[in-house]
Amino acid sequence: MDGEWRVPGYSELRVLGEGSQGRVVLTRHDATGATAAIKYLAAGLAADPRFRDRFRAEAELLARLRDPFVARLYGLVETGDGAAIVMEAVDGASLKAVLAERAPLAPEAALAVLKGSLLGLGAAHDLGIVHRDYKPANVIVRADGLSKLIDFGIAVDAGEAGRSGTPVYMAPEQWRAEPASPATDVYAATCVFFECVTGRRPYSADDPAGLMGRHTTAPIPVQDVPEPLRPLISRGLAKNPWDRPHGAAAFVSELEHAASAAYGPGWERSGVRALAGAAAALSVLFPLTALGLGAGGSGAAGAAGAAGTAGAAASGTGAAGAGAAGAGAAGAGAGGAGAAGGAGAGAAGTGMGGAGQVAAGAAGKGVLGAVGAKGAAAIAGGALIAAGAGGAAVYVASADGKPAPRPKPVSIVLQAYSEPQSPLPGGGVWRTQGRFVTVKDARSPAVGQKIDQALRAPLRARFAQARRSLGGQPGDFTGLVTATVLLRGPKLLSVRYDTDVRGQVGVGWFQPRSVLVDLTTGRSYRPIDLFLAADVPGLEPFNQKVLAHAPGHAFCPGETTGSGITPTLLTDGSVAVMPTPSGVQVTYQGGDLGYSNACGSKRVEIPYADIAGLIRPEILKAVPYPAPSPTRT
Q: What is the pLDDT of residues 360-387, one digit of tens each?
A: 222 222 211 222 222 332 222 232 222 2
Give the pLDDT band (50/70/90) at residue 294.
low
- pLDDT greater at residue 553 or residue 332: 553
- pLDDT greater at residue 534 or residue 12: 12
- pLDDT greater at residue 226 or residue 384: 226
Question: What are the domain boundaries of the chain?
Answer: 10-91+291-397, 92-285, 411-621
Q: What is the DSSP letter of 81?
A: S
Q: Is the pLDDT of residue 325 over 70?
A: no
Rounded CA-CA distance 78/39 in Å is 12
For the chain, the average pLDDT equals 76
Instruction: Report yes or no on whether pTM surpasses 0.85.
Output: no
Rounded CA-CA distance 43/2 in Å is 13
Q: Quick one: average pLDDT of 103-113?
A: 92
Q: 319-323, 365-369, 403-407, 477-481: which has the minimum mean pLDDT?
A: 365-369
Look at residue 597 in the predicted model and tell me its pLDDT.
58
Q: Is the pLDDT of residue 262 over 80?
A: yes
Q: What is the DSSP letter of 596?
A: -
Other Cβ atoms within 10 Å of 554 Cβ, number: 16
Superfamily of domain 92-285: Transferase(Phosphotransferase) domain 1 (1.10.510.10)
Q: What is the DSSP letter of 245?
A: -
Q: What is the pLDDT of residues 532-572, one digit of tens each?
A: 888 888 899 999 999 999 888 888 887 777 778 999 999 88
What is the side-by-side strand order in the sheet with 92-94?
A: 92-94, 139-142, 147-149
Q: What is the pLDDT of residues 19-65, one digit of tens each?
A: 777 888 999 888 888 888 899 988 888 888 888 888 887 887 777 77
Q: Is the pLDDT of residue 75 over 90?
A: no
Other Cβ atoms within 10 Å of 115 Cβ, number: 27
- pLDDT greater at residue 210 or residue 31: 210
Show which residues are catalytic.
133
- pLDDT greater at residue 67 or residue 263: 263
The architecture that CATH gives domain 10-91+291-397 is: 2-Layer Sandwich (3.30)
Q: Which secondary structure element, helix H or strand E, spans residue 14, and what is its range?
A: strand 10-19
What is the dihedral angle through the alpha carbons of 596, 601, 605, 608, rounded to the nearest 10 degrees? 70
Q: Is the pLDDT of residue 88 over 80?
A: yes
Q: Angle at which helices 267-280 and 248-263 pack, to 10 degrees? A: 100
What is the total residue count of the chain?
633
Look at residue 409 in the predicted model and tell me its pLDDT.
58
Q: For residue 548, what are the contacts with CB-CB under 8 A and spacing of at least 6? A: 610
